[in-house]
């Protein structure tokens, strides 16, 4: 079976210029952020992020949201794939879960970890298949106020702008959303 490549460009792009995908379902716990910061400090950037080009010309992330979010000024290597919005959504549903299906040979992991001593606790936990939770000050639970919201689909950006102006004139608190 011949597998086609969808990669059309390799670029170096400032992280702050990459647009996160609005439907990215991944949330990144503090332990993951700490492990990534430790890995970046130890190795530097050793992997590209994945993005698609939007009709506006901007690049929208498909994979690598955490790397891009840590520092807007970092220049990242970006693999640009030629996919539409539907395929981008499907890739969001596929890439991380596919990687998570891999199983770990505990004996080989232990032998490899023994060969690579880590002085950083986040890396040590990561390499041993554990989760090191950084110590954070306890925050009080937020008090949520009840809200009633309306989302309206507009036919164009200009129609959206006109509707926002009309609602603002009426004194309503409103914001624009794009997808």
Please report, for the domain that includes residue 70, its CATH number.
3.90.1530.10
**How many distinct structural domains can be found in the chain?**
1
Structural domain including 51 reads 7-103
The verdict on residue 131 lying in a domain is no
Measured in degrees and rounded to the nearest 5, phi and psi for residue 75 equal -95, 125
Please report whether residue 68 resides in a domain: yes
Q: Looking at residues 55-84, what average pLDDT do you find?
A: 96
Residue 147 has a pLDDT of 77
In 3D space, the residue among 123, 174, 124 whose CA is nearest the CA of residue 151 turns out to be 174
Q: Work out the mean pLDDT of the chain and round it to a whole number.
A: 88
Number of CB atoms found within 10 A of residue 156's CB: 8
Residue 81 lies in a domain: yes
pLDDT of 72 reads 94
In a domain, 76, yes or no: yes
Q: Is 87 a member of any domain?
A: yes
H/E element, 61: strand 59-63
Q: Averaged over 97-117, what is the pLDDT?
A: 88
pTM of the model: 0.69
Q: In the chain, where does DSSP find H-type helix?
A: 30-43, 65-70, 85-100, 106-115, 121-127, 157-169
Residue 70, in any domain of the structure: yes
C-alpha 90/C-alpha 25 separation (Å) is 12
Answer yes or no: is 30 within a domain: yes
Residue-wise pLDDT for 124-177, tens only, equals 888 877 765 555 556 666 677 777 778 888 888 888 888 888 888 888 888 887
Alpha carbon distances (Å) from 31 to 79, 106, 111, 132:
26, 21, 24, 6
Say which DSSP state 155 is in. S
Average pLDDT over residues 114-120: 86
Distance of alpha carbon 8 from alpha carbon 52, whole angstroms: 9
Residue 125 forms part of a structural domain: no
104 falls in which pLDDT band (50, 70, 90)? confident
Residue 179 has what pLDDT?
67
């Amino acid at each position: 079976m011949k597998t086609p490549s969808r990669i059309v460009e390799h670029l170096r792009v400032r992280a702050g210029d990459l647009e996160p995908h609005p439907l990215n379902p991944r949330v990144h716990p503090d332990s993951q952020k700490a492990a990534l910061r430790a890995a970046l400090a130890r190795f530097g950037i050793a992997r590209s992020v994945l993005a698609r080009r939007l009709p506006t010309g901007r690049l929208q992330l498909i994979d690598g949201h955490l790397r891009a979010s840590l520092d807007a000024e970092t220049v990242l290597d970006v693999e640009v794939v030629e996919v539409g919005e539907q395929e981008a959504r499907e890739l969001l549903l596929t890439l991380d879960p596919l990687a998570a299906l891999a199983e770990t040979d505990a004996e080989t992991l232990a032998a490899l970890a023994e060969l690579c001593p880590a002085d950083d606790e986040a890396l040590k936990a990561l390499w041993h298949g554990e989760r090191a939770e950084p110590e954070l000050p306890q925050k009080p639970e937020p008090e949520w106020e009840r809200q009633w919201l309306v989302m309206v689909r507009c036919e164009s950006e200009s129609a959206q702008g006109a509707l926002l102006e009309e609602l603002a004139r009426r004194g309503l608190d409103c914001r624009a959303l794009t997808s």
